[in-house]
């Protein structure tokens, strides 16, 4: 609530006219409350205040909790995350030593001028990347999750009859099928959805026209919560970009554009080691993707600016992770000699680019694209590469995926396990990238509509289960991990919405 009050005070400077009105003879205490509400509504501040409250409540945990529990209440999760962070920084420092490069150095005037001149065409002239490697890949992170242990419970007894047969063995509470059905009830089979094709063309057109009209009305209200609920049934293509900005509380004004230009200036002035990691990742992922290669320049611009954005640090208040740091020589572990590196505190990993790439289809101005990604990351995507007990965290998603697949398809699960093709080893790359780069873009956007609409990442696990069930017949004939991966290599024909509906409401067996 303190942050909300700061928002009010800093943003709402009363004009002389407002002061005069308050001091006027026609102001009565008996009607002051109603008059204030009407004035707020008329001035547009009602929606702004509601959106500020929505933003705080949808992102931040209870302020009554102590700081360490706000970040992560489970002690062994906190320890595992801290150990993982040390491992990542060690890998980064080792790269510096091996390559004889520094983490950060000032660009020469000639370098600055050169970078500015090619800012919009950075894909045409990147540095030599052959010596650089990703700091880590999703499969490295998966091994951390596989070895998680609760020292008090010692996970599950190997002889326990209810012992799960998956890779993730922590006794973490996850949603039951009944809870999932209730939480995602707007996806019920009888509900019409944007993204369904199993209706007549006339009905489809009529429904989409209705959705477009309703979307315009939602945008006119300028209320984030209303936009969020609307997105649960999918967003029309024409209004999706604006609806997502409203849900994410992104408003583009002179201040935001100025901040983006400052970040751009920071990129031009300072050369960071992570810049090379970003270049490398874009080349290895989006540049080789049929959907996203055309956005290569946008991706460089957004990701390089993101690495310099200190405002990203605020999300660590409710993230199990802590910002990555470097220390002065000989002062390792001494906080007063620590520097957050990069300034955002986030070290990109292999595939990080794909959190941004789909947004390029929606936003064609770099600064708008930047702020949309910034909010998507600090609200949702950070949970996919942090060790935590959060219901939308990657650990819970892995456990939800394995548990649900065992329940729906026990024979398939055990078959894959017996041939050395644990399902999670195949699905993990989908989960950690929120399916970006695996689904067709139109289907991915329909999925992300629902992630934003329900403010939950649990649908990622549900969809992963549904895909395995969809390909069950071919998977049962697989004899090795390689053959199972081949069955699931191409997801371009997957239709997201009907699969989610069937998985949630009993249509998949």
pLDDT cut 70: percent of the chain above it: 79
Helix (H), strand (E), coil (C) string for 430-458: HHHCCCCCCCCHHHHHHHHHHHHHHCCCH
Query: Taking a C-beta distance cutoff of 8 angstroms, is the pair 493, 487 a contact?
Result: no
Buried b (16+ CB within 10 A) or exposed e, 71-92: bbbbebbbebbeebbeebbeeb
337 pLDDT more than 90: no
DSSP 179-228: HHHHHTGGG-TTS--TT--SS-HHHHHHHHHHHHHHHHHHHHHT-HHHHH
Helix (H) or strand (E) holding 339: strand 338-340
Phi, psi of 271 (to 5 degrees): -105, 115
The overall average pLDDT reported for the chain is 86
Burial bucket for residue 161 (CB in 10 Å: 0-12, 13-18, 19+): exposed
Window from 43-57, 151-165, 384-398 with minimum mean pLDDT: 151-165
**Predicted local distance difference test score (pLDDT) of residue 56:** 57
Q: What is the pLDDT of residues 98-137, one digit of tens each?
A: 988 889 999 999 999 999 999 988 876 666 788 889 999 9
Sort 136 into a burial class: Cβ within 10 Å, 0-12 / 13-18 / 19+. Answer: buried
Residue that has been written with the tokens 């409401």 in this structure: 505
Burial of 111 by CB count in 10 Å (0-12 exposed, 13-18 middle, 19+ buried)?
Answer: middle
pLDDT tens, residue by residue, 460-488? 999 999 999 999 999 999 999 999 999 99
What are the helix (H) ranges across 231-365?
A: 237-247, 254-269, 273-284, 296-308
CA distance 227 to 19: 34
The Cα–Cα gap between 24 and 418 comes to 81
The per-residue pLDDT for 7 is 38
Dist CA 363 CA 357 (whole Å) = 10
Where residue 8 falls among pLDDT bands split at 50, 70, 90?
very low
pLDDT of residue 159: 46
At 338, is the secondary structure helix, strand, or coil?
strand
257-268 as b/e, with b when 16 or more CB fall inside 10 Å?
A: eebbeebbebbb
Overall average pLDDT of the 26-41 stretch:
63
**pLDDT of res. 2:** 41
How many other CB atoms are found less than 10 A from the CB of residue 173? 9
Q: Of residues 328 and 221, which shows the higher confidence score?
A: 221
* Amino acid 422: pLDDT: 96
Q: H/E element holding 270?
A: strand 270-272
- Of 346, 356, 341, give the one whose Cα is nearest residue 272: 341
**357-373 mean pLDDT:** 97
Q: Which residues have a Cβ under 8 Å from the Cβ of 211 and sit 6 or more positions away?
A: 194, 233, 234, 236
Report how far Cα 121 is from the mean position of its chain's Cα atoms: 27
Q: Is the peptide bond before 342 cis (omega within 30 degrees of 0)?
A: yes
Backbone angles phi, psi at 219, to 5 degrees: -65, -35
Residue 395 host element (H or E): helix 394-408
Neighbours of 205 (CB within 10 A): 11
- d(CA 400, CA 458) in angstroms, rounded, equals 8
* Interior/surface letters 290-308, b for 16+ CB within 10 angstroms, e for the rest: ebbeebbbbbbbbbbbbbb
H, E, C per residue of 69-109: HHHCCCHHHHHHHHHHHHHHHHHHHHHHHHHCCCCEEECCH
- The whole-model pTM stands at 0.85
Gap between the Cα atoms of 454 and 183, Å rounded: 8
State the chain's maximal CA–CA distance in angstroms. Answer: 85
Tokens, residue 77: 């999760």
Through-space distance between the first and last CA atoms of the chain, rounded to whole angstroms: 46
Q: What is the pLDDT of residue 335?
A: 73
Assign 3 a pLDDT band (cuts: 50, 70, 90): very low
Contact 454, 184 (CB under 8 A): yes
Dist CA 427 CA 429 (whole Å): 6
Segment 154-199, tens digit of pLDDT = 544 544 434 467 899 898 889 999 999 999 999 999 999 998 865 4
Contact 327, 337 (CB under 8 A): yes
Residue 58 has pLDDT above 70, yes or no: no
């Amino acid at each position: 609530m303190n942050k909300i009050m700061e928002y009010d005070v800093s943003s709402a400077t009363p004009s002389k006219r407002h002061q005069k009105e308050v001091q006027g003879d026609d102001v009565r205490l008996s009607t002051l409350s109603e008059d204030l509400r009407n004035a707020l509504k008329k001035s547009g501040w009602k929606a702004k205040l509601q959106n500020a409250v929505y933003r705080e409540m949808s992102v931040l945990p209870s302020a009554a909790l102590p700081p360490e529990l706000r970040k992560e209440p489970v002690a062994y999760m906190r320890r595992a995350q801290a150990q993982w962070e040390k491992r990542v920084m060690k890998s980064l420092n080792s790269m510096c030593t091996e390559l004889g490069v520094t983490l950060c150095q000032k660009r020469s005037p000639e370098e600055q001028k050169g970078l500015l001149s090619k800012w919009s065409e950075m894909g045409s002239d990147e540095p030599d990347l052959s010596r650089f490697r990703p700091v880590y890949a999703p499969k490295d992170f998966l091994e951390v999750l596989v070895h998680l242990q609760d020292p008090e419970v010692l996970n599950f007894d190997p002889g326990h009859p209810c012992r799960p047969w998956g890779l993730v063995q922590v006794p973490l509470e996850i949603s039951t099928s009944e809870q999932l059905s209730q939480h995602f009830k707007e996806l019920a089979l009888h509900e019409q959805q944007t993204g369904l094709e199993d209706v007549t063309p006339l009905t489809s057109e009529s429904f989409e026209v209705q959705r477009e009209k309703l979307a315009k009305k939602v945008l006119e209200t300028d209320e984030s919560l209303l936009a969020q609920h609307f997105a649960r049934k999918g967003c029309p293509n024409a209004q999706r970009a604006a609806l997502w900005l409203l849900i994410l509380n992104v408003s583009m004004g002179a201040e935001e554009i100025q901040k983006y230009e400052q970040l751009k200036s920071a990129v031009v002035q300072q050369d960071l080691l992570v810049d090379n990691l970003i270049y490398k990742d874009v080349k290895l992922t989006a540049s080789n993707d049929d959907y996203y290669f055309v956005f290569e320049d946008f991706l460089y611009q957004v990701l390089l600016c993101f690495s310099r954005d200190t405002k990203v640090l605020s999300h660590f208040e409710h993230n199990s992770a802590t910002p990555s740091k470097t220390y002065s020589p000989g002062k390792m572990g001494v906080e007063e000699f620590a520097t957050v590196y990069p300034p955002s505190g986030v070290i990109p990993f292999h595939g990080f680019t794909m959190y941004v790439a789909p947004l390029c289809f929606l936003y064609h101005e770099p600064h708008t694209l930047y702020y949309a990604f910034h909010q998507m990351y600090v609200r949702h995507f950070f949970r996919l590469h942090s060790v935590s007990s959060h219901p939308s965290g990657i650990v819970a998603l892995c456990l939800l995926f394995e548990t649900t697949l065992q329940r729906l398809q026990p024979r398939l699960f055990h078959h894959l396990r017996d041939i050395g093709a644990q399902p999670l080893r195949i699905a993990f790359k989908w989960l950690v990238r929120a399916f970006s780069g695996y689904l067709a873009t139109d289907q991915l956007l329909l999925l992300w509509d629902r992630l934003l609409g329900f403010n939950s990442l649990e649908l990622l696990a549900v969809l992963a289960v549904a895909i395995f069930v969809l390909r069950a017949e071919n998977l049962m004939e697989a004899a090795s991990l390689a053959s199972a991966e081949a069955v699931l290599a191409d997801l371009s024909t997957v239709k997201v919405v009907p699969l989610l509906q069937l998985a949630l409401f009993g249509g998949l067996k």
